[in-house]
Amino acid sequence: MSVDAKTVKRIGRLARIRIEEGEVGKYQDELNAILGFVEQLGEVDVSGVEPMTSVTPMQLRRRTDVVTDGGYPERIVANAPLTEDNFFMVPKVVE
């Protein structure tokens, strides 16, 4: 796949980047080089390679899912200007 001058101008317009007429060739060459590298990646044989999330083997630190706080909703809503049944009440903002 290659990019022509018309496509370079369109990409510049979509990205809201001003590309002068003399710069179109330079950007065309750069975009074609990038697309060439991407095409090379498609040629790599990745069969048998597991997907990975990091280049270094690591495991996420996990903790047990336990409730460590709570059980006192009255104290939580004590300073609220308006509450009902231990819930915060707020003014209606959508009509």
- Token pair, residue 10, equals 């369109």
Closest CA to 79 of 71, 70, 88: 88
pLDDT digits (tens), the chain, 95 positions = 789 999 999 999 999 999 999 999 999 999 999 999 999 998 999 898 888 878 888 787 888 888 877 889 999 999 999 999 999 999 888 87
Place of tokens 């370079």: 8
Does residue 57 belong to any structural domain of this protein?
A: no
- Token pair, residue 95, equals 């009509």
- Token pair, residue 54, equals 């990091």
Does residue 75 belong to any structural domain of this protein?
A: no
Q: How many domains does the chain fold into?
A: 1
> What is the chain's Cα-based Rg?
29
- Output the pTM of the full model: 0.50
For 27, the domain range is: 5-42
Is the Cβ–Cβ distance between 4 and 28 less than 8 Å? yes
Reduced to 3 states, what is the DSSP secondary structure of residue 66?
Answer: coil
Q: What pLDDT is recorded for position 2? A: 87
